[in-house]
Structure 1
Amino acid sequence: MPSLWTPTDWPARLAELEARSGDEKQTPLRRDIRSLGTLLGQVLREQAGDALFDAVESLRRIAIARREAEATGDEAAGLLHLNEAQALTHETAADPTTAYRLARAFASYFELINLAETNHRKRRRRASLLDAAATPQRGSLRGTLRRLRATGITRDEALRLLGHICITPIFTAHPTEVARRSVMFKRRRISDLLERLDGILLPPSEFDALENELLAEITALWQTDDVRSARPTVRDEVRMGLDYYDASIFSTIPVLYKEIANAFAAEFPSEAGFPSDEGQPSIAELPLVVSFGSWIGGDRDGNPFVTAQTTCDSLAMARQLLLDRYLKQLQDVFEQLASSTNQAPISAALQSRLNEYLQELRAAGHAAPQDHLSYEAVRHMIACITLRLGGSPPATMHRNLGLTEEATLQPYRSAAELLSDLSLLRDSLAANRGLRLAELFIDPLLLEVRTFGLHLQTLDIRQHARVHEVAVDELSAWHNTASLQLPAPLSPQTAEVLATFQGVAEIKQSAPQAIAQYVISGASTAQDVLRVLWLARLGNVHVEGGDVEQGHDPGLQPVPLFESIEDLRNAPEVCRELWSSEAFKPLLAAWHGRQEVMLGYSDSNKDGGMIASTWEIWKAHRALHEVARECGVTLRLFHGRGGTVGRGGGPTHRAIYAQPLDSFTGELRITEQGEVLNWKYSDVVLAERNLELMIAASLDALARPDLHAAKDESAHLTGAILPEWEAALDELSVTSFAFYKQHIIDNPEIFTYFEQATPVAELEHARIGSRPAKRTDGSASKQRSMADLRAIPWVFGWMQSRHVVPAYFGVGYALEAFIGENPKGLELLRGMMRSFPLFLDMIRNVEMALAKADFGIAKLYASLVEDAALRDRVFATLESEFDRTRRMVLAVTSQTELLERDTVLSNSIRLRNPYVDPMSLLQVELLRRKRGGESSEELDRAITATINGISAGLRNTG
């Protein structure tokens, strides 16, 4: 029997892979999904038996029938099918072990669907690059450069603008990635096999072999525990974050810069002057446009497991990974590059540096008096670089230089020293008829060193302002006490705060650039920043910055994180007070006039709802830049966005372009969390596309070519805001905030409903991340309430139960009120949808969230609430606002159905729903049993499996 992927018509298969529009381009995705489903069915029969397979198929058919009935408006039939599915779930899942396997079956399907969709994104990315003459997409760098050229910007001006861009993704360990590390490795192997199945002119036997490998990997996936037996440690989370470097990021960097070089060559073909032979900039000479950072191992806000030691371990693991990478690259270059001075000379500068190293080795007795292959000077230099990095050169290097086993050279003290050696090597090759060799072998390594330095990624430290306040009070008592009176012992929390700063001081002795920012959660006053400086000085941290490019200590800059609606509103004046302070000005000067401020999306949304959060962040963004200009400060904003819409999620490139006009310097840092990491960085093609989108959007937001273009239909998203738009958003924000506060924040019934109608309490058993779901340290409030519930579990609970409240509550009410009170309100809002990026981005994100919600399923979760009257009141409020928001979003977007203009996402959600629904029914059934008193490890395991499955199905956790 031929493989499920074996084509009957090769030209048709090639046409599918090349297709750029129409239904044909979706054919490979449908084939992958259908074939993977078939293979999974085979595995289920083999591994779990026909009874489980039949139960899965029955639930799937009933769920599809329910969805089809509702789509045609037959609510009675839809309810009938829903009741039938509930009854079948109750019967099938009577045994927790069977329930667990049932959940796993649907979750496994989503694992495969997600991989198929990811592979299709890669497929479409490659197809878009086949035709060089095709109009570049708006999100691409070529598209942005083309619009820059159209407005009269030259190549040199475009390169100068690019020099201002630097995107820094910050990897975080918030508990939003439910997959175990071992599962992630299996995902990558399946993904690789799917990509190989797209090969052209493969013989039938190879298709058969690839399908058999897929079947084996799916079997291995089924036999691997998806539920952790223990909560991951911080060290586990560090390893998961570092995995993405080997998986994609290291290899992505040269690909990304090559794409940038190609884009410039394509869009400015007539302008000479590029250094390389092909009329385009060398990748090693392009401005540095991306760097990387992490919070994993440094973020101790609410996480008692992050200590001074874990911070030190995190940095050591990152450094070791990077050194291993450099040493492997050097060995590869050594094997590939055997340039001989008998064939091409080397530069005098390279010879001089090499002589210094050889003299050092001979003086220490580590090398023979005269090496017998001195004409292989390039290899000698590579061996010396390897020694300075602390590695052991390959045997060939040892023989060439006559090295002893103990051979060492003085270690590199900074990345600048390593770059100097690599640059000497590159320049020597380029000057002696070896430019192609330099570009192929040395430029990628140069790029990596420029990007990663000797530390791989910066590690931010984060702690809550209230914890600092307590620490300063305690430590001040030690300083102010009378000489014959001992103060009270330090609390463990304050002792750890002091240990953190002492640890930072020690780390920066050997790796000064690894830690440069200290993020202050819950910042609300200038004193919150000054307290961190006080504590840093007490811990012997040098806070003033030096020349970073020369490898000097950049210091330690406190970064206030403004999170609540009130704090966002006060942020500009707080920063004005700080930046104009005589005590703070010398520090600003030491940091070269630069200051970073962080804006929190998650807590502001939890605090004020979607519209108020979005608008207050946007206004704070603009006002902070205005204050920075007044105070002579160069401001860089750090955007704390989550994975879901309720936590600031959504397309990142769209959000970058939606920034306020004249309020962007080209640099930004942005958090990448949980499942978002896998979605964006699991593969080189995906990582390169994601980074290109962010770079292109940043260049677009900095240059604003549409603002300077001819006033026609193509130049409407300029980023400029009209007075009537600002007034409209002010009104929408006030209205939605008041409604949200009344019905969510100030409504005590919501907290009770939330805890009982969602699986939020099961986070502990899910063992998703190392951080507790609630604050338990000095940053916690004194009583159990929503104030102590972190934004991640808040969004998690509503998403799992299909309420999706944080993404829309208050939006419909505000839109309806605005349209009702303004005769031309709807017309104005539709104009904002066409012309104002911020409003467009917000409404599209709300629309996506509405499409993922399901109040038919949410009502089943509501049945878990013990107080029937409370349940009915809250559910009615939530459902009413959902219906109103859906109605108003359709009106503002001029659509009849959600996602009418995004057929890819619409089809994906429609395809997934019949498979998510059974897991939701199963989760409700299992939660009801647990709330009824049933208790067992198997039951907890089954509930966790439903959490994993629903997360995979919705592609969102928290």
Structure 2
Amino acid sequence: MQNEEKAEKFRQIVENKFQIYNSLFMSLPYDKMTNIGMLLPFLYEESKAGYEQGKSPEEIVEEFFSKHTELETEEQKTELLFKIIQYIERQVVLFDSIEDAAFPGLHSESEAGTLLQLHERALQEHQLEATRKKIEDFAVRVVFTAHPTQFYPNSVQRILHDLRSAIMKDSVTEIDMLLQQLGKTPFLNREKPTPLDEAMSIIFYLRYVYYDSIGELYRKIKNSFGNDHFIPPHDIFQLGFWPGGDRDGNPFVTAEITQKVANELHISILKSYYEHLKNLRRRLSFRGVSEILEQLSHELYDAIFKEEKITAEHILSRINDAEHILTAQHNGLFRNLLEDFKDRVGIFGTHFATLDIRQDSRVHQSVIDEVIAKKSGFDLQNITTEDKIEWLLETDVILDPSDFEGITKDTLENIYNIRNIQKNNGERGLSRYIISNSDEVKDVLNVFGMFRLCGYREEEINIDIVPLFETMEGLDAGENVMKALYELPVYRKHLERRGNAQTIMLGFSDGTKDGGYLKANWEIYETKEQLTRISDENNIKVIFFDGRGGPPARGGGKTHDFYASQGKTIANNKIEITIQGQTITSVFGNKDQAKYNFEQLLTAGIENDVFKNSKKDLTEKERNLIQELAEISFRKYSDLKAHPMFVPYLQEMSTLEYYGRTNIGSRPSKRGGTNELKFEDLRAIPFVGSWSQLKQNVPGFFGFGFALNELKIQGRFDEIHALYKWSDFFKTLVLNSMMSMNKSYFPLTYYMKNNEKFGSFWTILFEEYELSKSMMLELTGFKMLMEEEPLSRKSVQIREKIVLPLLSIQQYALMKIQKNEGNREAYEKLVMRSLFGNINASRNSA
């Protein structure tokens, strides 16, 4: 479909449907909310016109009260605002469901990045064999994290799921009933979710979306590319899982929680097999076959409810027995159904998704120091890092966790537990340990040493140890750290046992927070090149795991374009990314979307190796130009970070302080236990989220426009034009940054320019936004931001329209708090409640 066609189709099957079904809200049984649907358009119009005239949110909301209501007391007014928030939250769910239901109608099987298109291209360019070869040695892993960028309670998630199905059938009665249910269902968690709650929330998606979508996608690859000599590997699509394993900065993730989540993953996949088998047995009712499948059904039941052990190998041996009889005695009837079941077991094993452990290197160091102080006889004051490492790698001491307390005890217990998890869920169930804030060799060796201290012989450490380079310093150190590790005999032997493969994680979110958008992306690109080179020199297969948040401001953006733009200088053995919150629901939230986006990732990686494209490889001149732009942009962003008003502005004028008080996620919003807020302690999500709530999205563009303009002043804009035209990597950076700007709306905070304390700081942000926007429009030749992406642009437009009244309410409440007027507690609750709707509505920021 052409862009105009897509836009028209979107209008028909998304916009029009939203208007029709939105009218059903008018009759919903909200408590004390009957006239909200009538009042809301007035608040929207007051906001839209008011901001264009430079009015403040306080003026807009007060005018709305005086013109359209007869409310007099503060209590009555805040009560109405709460009702409006509840109403908008439900409008967002309806729009999400309509957009999700429209997905298949807006995307064809043959468009760019699909398997069908890959197959056609491989045929035309005589690259079918090369494509098969790449498929054999490639994989895509999507890793679910519990980071709180969206958190509907499970009850609302299920309504979303059902609402989408009802909309696909255009069943007005069913939609009406579900909207009524939505009207009565609370959107708030009464308490903070525990890590186990977060895990269960994502396991819902594993069972009801990914079990089928990945199974069907595997069959699609098998049918397209498989033949008598080639069967695609079952692990071409992999799922990773962080809730319950990611203890970095989350004191609520304990060894006990990790064990519980591993058990839930195990039980959940067995339940999916049990349900699948029930349907299978309806067809395979033949003598000999039905008895075997019935027996397997009983065995799965006992494993689920009586905790009897069952392995993937055992399940497969039963299926093979049934397949043998089916082929020999029953003409192989319905064999394809049995094969599909068998493939699912090959894909998901008894683990469903691979649980990762993650912890900060500084926590490991404190554990090691405590152990050495207690068990080595060394005096910590007079011992070097080298001495500590030597002791760790040579000692015969085996620790008992009960000799310790707190984090040390829990860390050791967790390492002991890994044996049990691997025994129960298979080795794929938990096979790596990720170390945040890695920037030294000791950070990796500390983890290796801890396994030795927990009684693992070196050949028994069936775990990949994964350093995570995330700050500018960490990225700079990456090459030297890995070089030293590869040359260390004890670690080299460990890598040999792990198939001479090393996974390295790169933190886009924290990198962007630390270095700004352009600098972070370029730094990571160069770091990947260096790590590829050093790994190749040491005959190590390097796998990059990208901690890319959903929105560009967190290093995210369009994933297919990003991976398709990486040249030959970066290892392309696997694509691994983290996804969380609204990215799960918006990009991988239902079967159609999940299949489409998994395909996009897979084809991006395969095309990169199989087909030639000069726009992927950077020339020396292009590299120097990007480097120059990145440095100029970094200086501009660094000046902003160093501005004395930077942290106070976020603290006093944004929602930053409220993130930690919402019951969205289990993790605190900052590292460290002190009350003083330091930039380095800020987590990337609340940091970026706070800019997003202000509709300023600073981390997604700040410094980029300034850098482009500096070169324009030097008369070198034609060089940047050429770069944009000939480098896919640079073009992707520009388009992703434009997406960030498209979701900014500075009129919301025009009132801040007159603020005595923060006016000049706000002006710095606004001027850079205006400059970046004009420079990028000039560079691309676009008349508007995201001109070539009509679907995303229209979706953003409608969502921004839905949440504009919500933003007015939030800013109004913040202004009341800043002025210390009225009921502070009520206004703080308004700020927090409006956080949810804004977060959930911005789902298409990925």
**TM-score (normalised: structure 2):** 0.91
Q: Say which of 643, 668, 673 aligns to 1:747.
A: 643
2:389 matched residue in structure 1: none
Superimposed CA distance per residue, residues 831-879 of structure 1 (whole angstroms, 9 cap, x where no aligned partner):
332332211111111101101101111334677xxxx443012101111
1:839 matched residue in structure 2: 730
1:360 matched residue in structure 2: none
* 2:316 corresponds to 1:416: no
Distance 2:799 2:180 in 1: 22
Contact 1:181–1:240 (8 Å) recurs in 2:
yes
Q: Say which of 255, 260, 265 aligns to 1:318.
A: 265
Contact 2:506–2:545 (8 Å) recurs in 1:
yes
Contact 1:142–1:264 (8 Å) recurs in 2:
no
Q: Identify which range, 511-520 or 785-794, moves more after superposition.
A: 511-520
Query: Which residue identity does 1:579 align to in structure 2?
Result: Y
Superimposed CA distance per residue, residues 15-72 of structure 1 (whole angstroms, 9 cap, x where no aligned partner):
x9xx96572563122321111221123327x6544543332121123345568xxxxx
Q: Say which of 170, 173, 178 aligns to 1:217.
A: 178
* 2:612 corresponds to 1:706: yes
Q: CA deviation at 1:333?
A: 2.1
* 2:349 corresponds to 1:450: no
The correspondence of residues 174-189 of structure 1 with structure 2, limited to 5 A, is: 174-189=147-162
* 2:814 corresponds to 1:955: no
Contact 1:850–1:886 (8 Å) recurs in 2:
yes
Q: Secondary structure at the match of 2:577?
A: strand
Q: CA deviation at 1:108?
A: 1.9
Distance 2:844 2:683 in 1: 17
Question: Structure 1 residues 24 and 808 mapped into 2: Cα distance closer, same or farther (>3 Å)?
Answer: closer
Q: Secondary structure at the match of 1:152?
A: coil
1:550 matched residue in structure 2: none
Contact 1:173–1:673 (8 Å) recurs in 2:
yes
Contact 2:546–2:578 (8 Å) recurs in 1:
yes
1:228 matched residue in structure 2: 189
Q: Which runs of 5+ in 1 are unaligned?
A: 1-15, 68-74, 130-135, 198-209, 266-272, 276-280, 340-375, 394-404, 546-553, 708-715
Q: Secondary structure at the match of 2:661?
A: helix
1:37 matched residue in structure 2: 22
Distance 1:957 1:947 in 2: 16
Question: Structure 1 residues 682 and 861 mapped into 2: Cα distance closer, same or farther (>3 Å)?
Answer: farther
Contact 1:162–1:287 (8 Å) recurs in 2:
no
Q: Secondary structure at the match of 2:285?
A: coil
* 2:214 corresponds to 1:253: yes
Contact 1:323–1:389 (8 Å) recurs in 2:
yes
Distance 1:392 1:640 in 2: 35
Question: Structure 1 residues 544 and 862 mapped into 2: Cα distance closer, same or farther (>3 Å)?
Answer: farther
Question: Structure 1 residues 98 and 471 mapped into 2: Cα distance closer, same or farther (>3 Å)?
Answer: same
Q: Say which of 131, 134, 142 aligns to 2:116.
A: 142
Contact 2:518–2:630 (8 Å) recurs in 1:
yes
Distance 1:315 1:220 in 2: 33
Greater percentage in helix: 2
* 2:326 corresponds to 1:429: yes
Contact 1:609–1:809 (8 Å) recurs in 2:
yes
Q: CA deviation at 1:928?
A: 2.8
Q: CA deviation at 1:683?
A: 1.7
Superimposed CA distance per residue, residues 223-268 of structure 1 (whole angstroms, 9 cap, x where no aligned partner):
1111221111111101001000222111112321233245448xxx
2:39 matched residue in structure 1: 55
2:8 matched residue in structure 1: 23
Query: Which residue identity does 1:668 align to in structure 2?
Result: I
Contact 1:568–1:617 (8 Å) recurs in 2:
yes
1:811 matched residue in structure 2: 704
Distance 1:587 1:141 in 2: 37
The correspondence of residues 530-545 of structure 1 with structure 2, limited to 5 A, is: 530-541=445-456, 544=459
Q: How high is the sequence identity, in percent, across the aligned residues? A: 23
Distance 2:830 2:55 in 1: 26
1:945 matched residue in structure 2: 833
Q: Say which of 768, 792, 798 aligns to 1:905.
A: 792
Distance 1:150 1:555 in 2: 43
Contact 1:464–1:520 (8 Å) recurs in 2:
yes
Q: CA deviation at 1:330?
A: 2.2
Contact 1:758–1:861 (8 Å) recurs in 2:
no
Contact 1:247–1:682 (8 Å) recurs in 2:
no
Contact 2:135–2:232 (8 Å) recurs in 1:
no
1:88 matched residue in structure 2: 64
Q: Say which of 772, 777, 800 aligns to 2:693.
A: 800
Q: Say which of 240, 246, 250 aligns to 1:293.
A: 240
Q: How many positions carry a matched residue from both structures? A: 815
Distance 2:185 2:751 in 1: 31
Question: Structure 1 residues 809 and 605 mapped into 2: Cα distance closer, same or farther (>3 Å)?
Answer: same
The correspondence of residues 80-229 of structure 1 with structure 2, limited to 5 A, is: 83-84=59-60, 87-88=63-64, 95-125=77-107, 128-129=108-109, 136-153=110-127, 155-197=128-170, 210-229=171-190
1:368 matched residue in structure 2: none
Distance 1:797 1:231 in 2: 20
* 2:632 corresponds to 1:735: yes
Distance 2:821 2:453 in 1: 52
Q: CA deviation at 1:143?
A: 1.8
Q: Secondary structure at the match of 2:490?
A: coil
Contact 2:582–2:840 (8 Å) recurs in 1:
no
Query: Which residue identity does 2:85 align to in structure 1?
Result: A
Distance 1:285 1:755 in 2: 52
* 2:391 corresponds to 1:507: no
Q: Secondary structure at the match of 1:598?
A: strand
Larger of the two Rg values belongs to structure = 1
Question: Structure 1 residues 755 and 830 mapped into 2: Cα distance closer, same or farther (>3 Å)?
Answer: same
Distance 1:587 1:286 in 2: 25
Superimposed CA distance per residue, residues 148-199 of structure 1 (whole angstroms, 9 cap, x where no aligned partner):
333331x3332221111211111110111132211111111111110011xx
Query: Which residue identity does 1:166 align to in structure 2?
Result: A
Contact 2:234–2:343 (8 Å) recurs in 1:
no
Contact 1:594–1:636 (8 Å) recurs in 2:
yes
Q: Identify which range, 751-760 or 869-878, moves more after superposition.
A: 869-878
Q: Secondary structure at the match of 2:362?
A: helix
1:829 matched residue in structure 2: 720
Q: CA deviation at 1:680?
A: 2.6
**TM-score (normalised: structure 1):** 0.80
2:652 matched residue in structure 1: 756
Contact 1:140–1:692 (8 Å) recurs in 2:
yes
Distance 1:187 1:798 in 2: 27
* 2:436 corresponds to 1:521: yes
Contact 2:441–2:481 (8 Å) recurs in 1:
yes
Query: Which residue identity does 2:8 align to in structure 1?
Result: D
Q: CA deviation at 1:755?
A: 0.8
1:239 matched residue in structure 2: 200
The correspondence of residues 517-666 of structure 1 with structure 2, limited to 5 A, is: 517-541=432-456, 544=459, 555-666=462-573
Distance 1:392 1:499 in 2: 25
Contact 1:861–1:924 (8 Å) recurs in 2:
no
Q: Which runs of 5+ in 2 are unaligned?
A: 380-398
Q: CA deviation at 1:606?
A: 0.6
Please, what is the CA RMSD of the aligned residues? Answer: 2.9
Superimposed CA distance per residue, residues 436-472 of structure 1 (whole angstroms, 9 cap, x where no aligned partner):
5111x21221121111111111111000000111111
2:746 matched residue in structure 1: 855
